[in-house]
Amino acid sequence: GARVPICTSCHISIRGPFIAALDKTWCPDHFVCANPACAVPLINCGFVEEADQLYCENDFEKYLAPKCAKCSRAIVGEVVNALRNTYHMHCFVCVACGQPIGSGSFHNEDGKIYCIKDWGKLFQTKCYGCQFPIEPGDKWVEALSQNWHSECFNCSTCQMNLEGQPFCAKNGKPYCKKHGATRNF
Ligand SMILES: [Zn+2]
Ligand SMILES: [Zn+2]
Ligand SMILES: [Zn+2]
Ligand SMILES: [Zn+2]
Ligand SMILES: [Zn+2]
Ligand SMILES: [Zn+2]
């Protein structure tokens, strides 16, 4: 026996033409936007299902779609949830390189979003000796207007470690007392 379709909206068996969508069936008159002020037939336009109701795309965008925290426009499609807000994929981007962050990691500097790579380049302190970043747990010294890993702050001639030691500076480089005092003209 052929199953008689039941209208999802009025729950009456449909004898005649019906509309099938989303594994459900409707009488043609009931396949309309769930907003009573609109009730546009959905057969001719795009629609979105929200909480078991069907809405025309217009109403969905106007009333139901999450709003993007950056451009304030409705988000239809992929949503990025971050910083207790919702964003379009193309609106949640690194301010330095403009690449979408998506579901990747990021850093928030004063409300500005940076991808991990650019954040490291821009905000992580680099050691003047080895050019590698100084990580939060690292021991480091500030000297000659630069930052150094403790183990990288060495005499430029003999490599003796100068942390906590007296040192001389020549051309922005540290030297132990012995080599800093030597003049090699
Ligand atoms: Zn019906
Ligand atoms: Zn509508
Ligand atoms: Zn947006
Ligand atoms: Zn970036
Ligand atoms: Zn270093
Ligand atoms: Zn030395």
Q: Does the domain spanning 124-185 belong to CATH 3.40.50.300?
A: no
* Ligand with minimal distance to 139 CA: 5
Give the model confidence (pLDDT) of 139-184 as tens digits. 999 999 999 999 999 999 999 999 999 999 998 899 999 998 766 5
Q: Return the SS3 of 74.
A: strand
Distance, CA 94 to ligand 4 centroid (Å)? Answer: 5
Backbone angles phi, psi at 104, to 5 degrees: -75, 175
Q: Where are the domains positioned within the chain?
A: 32-64, 79-123, 124-185
Amino acid code (one letter) for 17 = P
Q: What is the mean pLDDT of the chain?
A: 91
Average pLDDT over residues 110-124: 91
Q: Quick check: 27 pLDDT over 90?
A: yes
In CATH terms, the fold of domain 79-123 is: Cysteine Rich Protein (2.10.110)
Cα 125 to middle of ligand 6, angstroms: 26
Q: What is the pLDDT of residue 3?
A: 76
**pLDDT of res. 114:** 96
Domain 79-123 matches domain 124-185 at the CATH topology level: yes
Calculate the alpha carbon distances from 89 to 56, 102, 103 in Å. 23, 6, 9
> 178: left (phi > 0), else alpha (psi -120 to 50), else beta?
alpha
The pLDDT value recorded for residue 182 is: 62
Query: Which whole number is the average pLDDT over 88-111?
Result: 93
The conformation of residue 116, written as its DSSP 8-state character, comes to H
Residue 2 has pLDDT above 70, yes or no: no
